[in-house]
Structure 1
Amino acid sequence: MNGLNAAAARYAGTRVARVEDPRLLTGQGTYVDDVVRPGMLHACFVRSPLARARIVSVDAAEALAVEGVHAVFLAGDLNPDVREQWYTLIGRDVPDTPRPPLAGGEVEFVGDPVAMVVADDRYVAEDVAELVLVEYEPLPPVADYTAARESGELIHDGYPGNVAGEMASAPLDAAVFDEAPLVVRRTIHQQACSQVPIETRGLVAEWSAPAGELTIWAATQSPHEVRLFCSRLLGLPEHRVRVVMRDTGGGFGQKVVPQREDMCVMLAARKVPGPLKWIEDRRENLMSAGMSRHEHADARIAFDTDGTILAAAIDHVQDVGAYPVPWPVGTSAAVGMFFPGPYRVPKAAWSTTSVFSNTVGRTAYRGPWQFESVARELLLDAAARRLGMDPAALRRKNLLRRDELPYTNPNGMPYSDITPLETFEQALKMLDYEAFRREQEQARAEGRHLGVGTCTYVEPTTAAMALHATEGATIRIEPSGKVNVYVSGGSSGNSIETTVVQLTADALGVDIADVSTIQGDTAVTPFGGGAAGSRSGSMTAGAIAETASVLRERIVAIAAHRLEAAPDDIELAGGHARVRGVPEAGIPLAEIAAASYFQPETLPPGVPAGLEASGRYRPESPLIWANATHLCTCEVDVTTGRVRLLRYIVSEDCGPMINPNVVEGQIAGGVVQGIGGALYEHLAYDPEGNPIATTFMDYLLPTAAEIPDIEYGHIETPAPGPGGYKGVGEGGAIGAPPAVANAVADALSPFGAEITRLPLTPETVVALARGTDGR
């Protein structure tokens, strides 16, 4: 019996208020920095002030003499204790890149951790960190990844040309482009960005020597990944490591896997006389927690004279910094494989190169392959201008329709259950596209510059790889009839607590107020991949369906036995089991539960005692596809360079929505980050590798004043699997940068402006209006 469909849904698909909100909005959440343990010590890192240098000596004598200081750990103290350090998310056999806990012979970026000070409190630890004297011999930095392959300096031995890895498809015959009536080719650059979670990284590790157990409180998106990684790192059995994740204030990819500082805390926990806490400050976060998006590509699309796409190719290069986390080459390959997007592209080719630099390491960020949409969608608008076509008409000609599916793109990506043309048309209708074009024409006559831009993309969700391959759930109906559902967790703003409660209430036919969820504690929750890869909604839905079906069958059997009815005539609703068509013939779930625990002799033959079950879900398809169209309008002041967004529309197909509020919240969060990437954010470095955006005075974020109301349209195409649910966590950040950039380009089209570089700062916009490239 299907646990999600056996009873009419009461909660899934409705705007149920988030169950997390009462504690979070009243300040009752528990974050890592709220964790206080008896005898707790505090860690602070000594970080390199140079982008690249040889460590000549480290003198910690003065620091160790300060009262309250317990240890100053160097590379020689911690690095040799590493047993294994690979991520379950990726797998043991991936050709990973170097990742020492502390810098040893050389430092490779400003912020590279050289030593870790442990003291009685954070203030002492921070002050004492300045007393650790490190003598450096400066070395020439490789700060510009675009020049790293030609540099005579090597960041890591064993990586010629500073290349971390390369991948490529089979090349296309040159004639495909040489003979095409029109080829639009651009080199497009995207700047480095940071994830900027509201809660920075943090960890508390407590070692119990008598039990041989390590307990970790972590700000993480994946508590079970932290547990497995730590067990391998320290050579401990998994059951000797417990990870507790309560509330996590955002992650966006930065907190999926442990990084080097986390490794240091784990390794040091067995060497200090008390629990060890490390909390990152904002400057450290911007300097050392990772960057993303820093990349460029030579991208080209060939067209027939009527605008039909003939072929597409992209040669992509990305900056992976000094110590990328995790292995970055696979994600960069996705840029190439997804470059054709949701368009009818007969032929395609791609290559990608990941290059080290003496900057902070690359980390995952919402839609880490999103550059493929930036490059493709900017090229499509440029092609429309060359062809004298409206960009909407060009897309309409080439977008895949629902009736063409399934469809395999030329790079082997098998699309199904998506609606590219349909979402595109919905977004245009929501705007009233033709009316806007008339408004734009009138505005230009008045000397005002309005623009409209779109992006249509397809997004892989629920990737069934390694750590993500399955998801578990345990459901226990208490003797009172109340329900507890246990899932791995990873709730970092994705509302997984709410959606799990909704799905469980529907699956068992109980009131939502009678359902609670326990998440984030590896000692009691089933193994799961956490929040990454837009997987949480569909995977937990599957796990709940698998588990609830076992309990439903058991409940129905007990009720049928007691009511002397056929099992097929029993329905579960309102916390009761009733005979269909005979509403007065029913039993409360609490009565059934009490009997199952305390009166097993009354149960029908073959029904076990108790109402607790565990199940594990494996997706029916290795990838579930979501898609959307983003559309925005803007007004550009060509004198000041100000870009004011007027309307922002998203037409999304993420399948049936478990909770529309959650879906729209996920879209909005991604859109705001994408707008930031298009117009404001830049994790910039100077030519010597010094970071110049390590505070919010320099790293600009969009605020409520810059973001227009986001308008939502929904098309629901069920995916394979329980409920037909898809992921929705990353799409907003994919679609926003190209939509905004195309809107600005459209506004500036009378000036012949071509956008090939982000962000679109005021000075860039003014330069584009003056006919330069905006550099």
Structure 2
Amino acid sequence: MTDVAAARYAGARLPRVEDPRLLTGHGTFVDDVVRPGMLHAHFVRSPMARARVLSIDASEALALDGVHAVFTAGDLNPDVVDHWYSLMGKHVPDTPRPPLASDEVRFVGDPVALIVAVDRYVAEDAAERVFVDYDPLPPVVDYATAVESDELVHASYPRNIAGELGGRPAEELAETFAAAAHVVEHTLHQQAYAAVPMETRGLIVEYSAPTGEMTIWASTQSPHEVRLFCSRLLGMPEHRVRVVMRDTGGGFGQKAVPQREDMCLMLAARKVPAALKWIEDRQENLVSAGQGRHEHGTARLAFDDEGRILAASIDHVQDAGAYPVPWPVQTAAVVGILFPGPYRVPAATFTTQSVFSNTTARAPYRGPWQFESLAREVLLDVAARRIGMDPIELRRRNLLRRDEMPLTNPNGMPYSDVTPLETFEHAMKLLDYDAFRREQERARAEGRYLGVGTCTYIEPTTSGHGFLGTEGATIRIEPSGTVNVYVAGGSSGNSLETTAVQLAADALGVDIADVNTIQGDTAVTPFGGGTGGSRSGSMIAGAVAETASVLRERVLAIAAHRLEAAVEDLELKHGVAAVKGAPGSELTLAEIAEIAYFQAGSLPPEIPAGLEASGRYRAQSLMIWANATHVCTCEVDVVTGAVTILRYLVSEDCGPMINPNVVEGQIAGGSVQGIGGVLFEHAAYDADGNPLATTFMDYLLPTSTEVPVIEYGHVETPGPGEGGYKGVGEGGAIGAPPAVVNAVADALAPFGVEVTRLPLGPASVVGLIEAAGA
């Protein structure tokens, strides 16, 4: 048996290998790429939420010096061959996705024309000289009433319904609800908010007519998805499309798949004489890049007289916007399926409905099924107050334990390898819950209102199906002995470079300084699913392990042959293969590489020449499950409505940690986005469909002064995949909103306040207190 050294790097708090270039301003983003004679694109966008497009006159724009072309729907849309996403597959009943608006505009910001000019400034000037004759139509702005509207966002979708799904008939649970000692129902509305990556969307598309090849530099989470999408869109062979992703300044789901503007650039690139570049400005990003959340649901729980859950149901409705990406119905279904969460729920059902509106598209946003946790956890606190039970005790009686796994929830979702009760108790210990309640009581006596809120969730990570179910790696030990690891990548702030380097160094028994990784170039990296679904860490771990094992065996076989030793007598550490117990009988990796590449004739026939291998990992299960408990304490100023977070704790079970710094960074980033979504962010529209938050003067984000210090606790239960690693990217954004909402509601409990609508800005908080008659 060959020696496999114990991990030296996995599990260590190592600095990120990306940081030196990123922190010193030496990263390469799309806007840093310059191509010879490069042209620039700018979109003419609709100022109306809904209108017929009667005509477009671009003559004045075309007359402007420096303008190369103005493309409208008639120029680009007919060239579309196909436009389905690998992420979803070609057989889903997808929703409309025209590159440019043609007969009708369907939201403010809808792209109507594409201007190509020598620079962005000329293109923007030209946009003011494109005259579009609009015939205004009544917009469908409120998704919640859209099914009752006489107006249709898309004529082929009656009642503005993009799709509906449901669980078992509600009648099957009627008797359980009727006989329950307590039935608690609560309706909660969550506002729209945006991903707001530091780097907005952007790409450069360069087409070479002589070779029929297209190269795309993209700000994306999934370079191979962009390549496949472009190939289908244009009807080009896959091998003639190359996508290059360098650094990407955040994605959060917004960059998981190409959107309509990306389609336009791909289509237009074959019609212009040079590379074509588009970088979205911040206002465009807030108006047109897509919204997250914006949904509501009525949730019900039935309890026995001891507070144990008997049944659960949720009726969920979400805003799909005008042109959702991708098909929104699947994510909505996950809201219903996961609504029982990490609790012992004997029976459950759900309905879910995705509804079109004349607003920007629904796009993926970190934990896109997050509403299941928000609705459930807020309802549990409401239930505790109505029943007269402490919310922590109510959860203790119902949370699933590690020894109950595996288990299938009542909606058919199989759970395994999770620790809901254990992480919950760990979080309570970190908080010292009893001490907080005593502090809260003292504060109330002084006229100060403190509150505590929790959220315990279970999260599916690393899907084992379809496009996301496999991941490839190629590892080459160069003649110098340096190790290069090629993986698809999609690193957009989630430290995939550090992950690949740490794992490969351990798998090959070499020093981390001798390992490099090449990612994000479809011409040289193996096919991969990119980032999404909290999959990257565990899938890269599997791909690296699958590939490195082949190389490790070859390295040891070459060393054994040259050293005249048995393979089982060798160990490989620090890049040296040595005979155990025989000092000096050893070969460095560089010496072994020299033999493999330049002295291959001296090797036995059964040992291949060279030191390069490729492998493909297949996920070991349908899902890898992670879980966590978030705890928030806050103080609410009942006069001004200001909410100040006092402590924020997360007890997380994402399995063994490849790098605790990276894990905690992912938790922190998601948690801050969730906090922002409750207290600050709101992508609001007026009744005419005009967006009201188009700059950072109006769209508020939490800053370093509002963000609390996050305290971390870790419970480690290995998952079924390589190394036992689980996903962690989306959990913070799932767990934070319910914890913050419950903390505010707990602080205001003396006033009889129940939260039914987000966000909870100061005016909303004061309004809740006044509405309660306080």
TM-score > 0.5, shorter chain as reference:
yes
In the alignment, the residues of structure 1 paired with residue 160 and residue 81 of structure 2 have an alpha-carbon distance, to the nearest angstrom, of 26
Amino acid at match of 1:525: T
1:527 aligned partner: 527
Residue 375 of structure 2 aligns with which residue? 375
Q: Matches of residues 245-260 of structure 1 in structure 2 within 5 Å? A: 245-260=245-260
Matched with 2:707 is 707
- Tell me by how many angstroms 1:754 deviates: 0.5
Cα distance between partner residues in 1 of 2:189 and 2:568: 61
2:550 is the counterpart of 1:553? no
| Aligned equivalents of 1:436, 1:583: Cα separation in 2 | 60
Other structure's SS at 2:524 match: coil
The answer (yes or no) to whether the contact 2:751–2:772 under 8 Å persists in 1 is: no
Using structure 2 for the length normalisation, give the TM-score. Answer: 0.99
Task: State, as a whole percentage, how many aligned pairs show the same letter.
Answer: 74
- Residue in 1 that maps onto 2:232: 232
CA contact (8 A) 2:464 2:620 kept: no
Paired residue type of 2:345: V
Quote the Cα distance in structure 1 between the aligned partners of 2:623 and 2:5.
28
1:521 counterpart letter in structure 2: D
Partner of residue 50, structure 1: 48
Superposition pairs of residues 250-649 of structure 1, within 5 angstroms: 250-649=250-649
Correspondence for 1:764: 764
Bigger mean CA offset, 170-179 vs 393-402: 170-179
Stretch moving more, 101-110 or 404-413: 404-413
Q: How far off its partner does 1:762 sit?
A: 0.5
Letter in 1 for 2:348: A
CA contact (8 A) 1:102 1:114 kept: yes
Partner of 1:19: 17
Contact 2:647 2:709 in 1 (8 A): yes
Structure 1 residue 583, shift from structure 2 partner: 4.2
Alignment of 1:152 with 2:150, yes or no, is: yes
Q: Which residue of 2 aligns with 1:116?
A: 114
1:200 maps onto 2:188 in alignment: no
User: What residue in structure 1 maps to residue 694 of structure 2?
Assistant: 694
Whole-Å separation in 2 of the counterparts to 1:166 and 1:772: 35
For residues 581 and 306 of structure 1, the distance between their equivalents in structure 2, rounded to whole angstroms, comes to 65
CA distance in 1, matches of 2:704, 2:45: 34
Q: Cα offset for 1:465? A: 2.9
**C-alpha deviations, 1:97-155, integer Å up to 9, x for none?**
00000000000000000000000011000111110000100000000001110100111
- Paired amino acid for 1:595: I
Partner of 1:69: 67
Deviation at 1:388, TM superposition (A): 1.4
Deviation at 1:177, TM superposition (A): 1.1
Cα pair 1:477 1:483 within 8 Å, conserved? yes
Q: Describe how 1:217-228 pairs up with structure 2 within 5 A.
A: 217-228=217-228
Partner of residue 209, structure 1: 209
Contact 2:147/2:160 (<8 A) preserved: yes
Which secondary structure does the structure 2 equivalent of 1:436 belong to? helix
Deviations 1:576-632 (A, max 9, x none): 011233343211111001100000122233011000000000011020000000001
CA contact (8 A) 1:55 1:104 kept: yes
Q: Secondary structure at the match of 1:617?
A: strand
2:455/2:629 contact within 8 Å kept = yes
- In structure 2, relative to structure 1, the CA distance for the partners of 1:224 and 1:176 (3 Å cut) is same
Kindly provide the CA deviation profile for residues 43-85 of structure 1, in whole angstroms up to 9, marking residues without a partner as x. 0000000000000110000000011101000000000000000
- Structure 2 CA distance for aligned equivalents of residues 434 and 200 of structure 1: 45
Given residue 281 of structure 2, which amino acid in structure 1 is its aligned partner? D
Q: 1:630 to 1:583 in 2, by over 3 A?
A: farther
1:658-697 aligned at under 5 Å gives the runs 658-697=658-697
In the alignment, the residues of structure 1 paired with residue 93 and residue 772 of structure 2 have an alpha-carbon distance, to the nearest angstrom, of 42
Q: Secondary structure at the match of 1:258?
A: coil
- Which residue of 2 is the match for residue 97 of structure 1? 95
Deviation digits for residues 735-769 of structure 1 (CA, Å, limit 9, x no counterpart):
00000000000000000111111111111111222
Q: Distance in 1 between matches of 2:4 and 2:133?
A: 69
The counterpart of 1:86, out of the listed 67, 71, 84, is 84
> Residue deviations 1:262-311, cap 9 Å, x none?
00000000000110000000000000000010000111011111110000
**Does the residue aligned with 2:489 lie in a helix, a strand or coil?**
coil
2:169 matches 1:171 = yes
Distance 2:583 2:92 in 1: 59
* Greater alpha carbon shift after TM alignment, 533-542 vs 150-159: 150-159
2-structure distance, mates of 1:318, 1:476: 47
The alignment partner of 1:148 has SS state of helix
User: Conserved in 2, the CA contact under 8 Å of 1:751 and 1:770?
Assistant: no
CA distance in 1, matches of 2:129, 2:408: 60
Q: Would you say the 8 A contact 2:147–2:159 is kept in 1? A: yes
Q: Is the 8 A contact 1:451 1:744 kept in 2?
A: yes
Once residues 771 and 650 of structure 2 are traced to their aligned partners in structure 1, the CA distance between those partners, rounded to angstroms, is: 31
Residues 754 and 773, structure 1, Cα contact 8 Å, conserved in 2: no
The AA in structure 1 aligned to 2:144 is T
- Map Cα deviations across residues 486-542 of structure 1 (whole Å, 9 max, x no partner): 000100000000010000000000010000000000000000001111000000000
Q: Any idea what SS the aligned residue of 1:386 has?
A: helix
Residue ranges of structure 2 left out of the alignment (5+ in a row): none
Identify the residue that residue 721 of structure 1 maps to in structure 2.
721
559-568 or 687-696, which deviates more? 559-568
Matched with 2:656 is: 656
Deviation at 1:466, TM superposition (A): 2.5
Matches of 1:612 and 1:305, distance apart in 2: 65
Q: What per-residue deviation string (whole Å, max 9, x for no partner) do you get for residues 215-273 of structure 1?
A: 00000000000000000000000000000000000000000100000000000000001
Distance 1:396 1:39 in 2: 65
Tell me the distance in 1 between the aligned counterparts of 2:581 and 2:637: 67
Work out the CA distance in 2 between the residues paired with 1:721 and 1:773.
54
CA distance in 2, matches of 1:106, 1:623: 41
Residues 21-36 of structure 1 correspond to what in structure 2 (within 5 A)?
21-36=19-34
Give the AA of the match of 2:747: A
Q: Distance in 1 between matches of 2:771 and 2:30?
A: 51
SS across alignment from 2:584: strand
One-letter code of the match for 2:85? Y
Contact 2:42 2:115 in 1 (8 A): yes
Q: TM-score normalised to the size of structure 1?
A: 0.99
Q: Would the aligned equivalents of 1:755 and 1:773 in 2 still touch at CA under 8 Å?
A: no
- How far the C-alpha of 1:773 sits from its partner, in A, is 10
Work out whether residues 101 and 264 of structure 1, in 8 Å CA contact, stay in contact via their aligned partners in 2.
yes
Alpha-carbon distance between aligned partners in 2 of 1:721 and 1:339, rounded to the nearest angstrom: 25
Alignment partner of 1:739 is 2:771: no
Paired AA for residue 566 in structure 1 = A
Contact persistence 1:41–1:274 (CA under 8 A):
yes
Structure 1: which 5+ runs fail to align?
none
Q: Distance in 2 between matches of 1:387 and 1:584?
A: 74
In the alignment, the residues of structure 2 paired with residue 621 and residue 581 of structure 1 have an alpha-carbon distance, to the nearest angstrom, of 41
Partners of 1:111 and 1:626 lie apart in 2 by 38
- Tell me, yes or no, if the aligned pair for 1:751 and 1:771 is still in contact at 8 Å: no
Q: Structure 1 384/588 Cα, relative in aligned 2: closer, same or farther at 3 Å?
A: same
Query: Whole-Å Cα distance in 2 between the matches of residues 306 and 767 of structure 1?
Result: 34
Aligned equivalents of 1:454, 1:585: Cα separation in 2: 59
